[in-house]
A = this chain, B = another copy of it.
Amino acid sequence: MDLLLLLFSAIWYILPAYIANAVPCILGGGRPVDFGKNFFDGYRLIGNGVTYRGTFFGILFGIITGILQHFIVILYMDPESAFNYGLSGYIILSFLLATGALFGDMLGSFIKRRFKLNQGQSAPLLDQITFIVFALLFAYPFYPLPINTIILLLVISPLIHLSSNIVAYKLHLKKVWW
């Protein structure tokens, strides 16, 4: 398959996971999902970064993305396209991707707390890839992808994450480039 087409189809598939991962940064806050409780090692179970509000809006905007994708497909794409999952298909797929992405973020935070890393301290690779891995684990059994698309997603995700952060840093939206 043409690399550009492969790249497009990979990003198209995973898009609700990216949205679900990004939205809590803007619409998060409120009560943390661990209710401020500690694990038996005396450190926070998950931390203040993962909240009920962030999770709710992450899933909501993930599903909205899926619904928009459906309309774009029926309006602008070949109905024979492999992307034509139908409305209910896009709702289920985007729900699975968004839930998986947020579960991955939560697990990533849990792991970081066990390694005594504070919220905001970066864990390169873990921060950029757990949400993709779990989005794929949740969605793949119902909406499988070719193996080369999966490998491409795992390789490009840290790069996309990094380049978007560098752009935000250059625009003075972020204090650090990572």
Q: Which A residues are closer than 8 A to B by beta carbons?
A: 111-112, 114-117, 122-126, 129-130, 147, 178
Give the CA-CA distance A165 to B125 in the complex, in Å.
20
Copies of this chain, tallied across the complex: 2
The distance from the CB of A97 to the nearest CB of chain B, in whole angstroms, is 20
In the assembled complex, the Cα of A96 lies from the Cα of B147 at a distance in Å of 25
Chain B: CB-nearest residue to A111: B124
Q: In whole angstroms, what is the CA distance A129 to B128 when docked?
A: 14
Verify B129–A125 contact, CB threshold 8 A.
yes
A82 to chain B, nearest CB (A): 21
Query: Quick one: given A115-B178, A147-B147, A178-B115, are A125 and B122 in contact (CB under 8 Å)?
Result: no
A147 CB to closest chain B CB (Å) equals 6
Would you mind naming 20 contact pairs between A and B with Cβ atoms under 8 Å apart?
A111-B124, A111-B125, A112-B124, A114-B124, A115-B122, A115-B124, A115-B178, A116-B122, A117-B122, A123-B123, A123-B124, A123-B125, A123-B126, A124-B126, A125-B125, A125-B126, A125-B129, A125-B130, A126-B126, A147-B147
Point out the residues of chain B lying under 8 angstroms from A115, CB to CB. 122, 124, 178
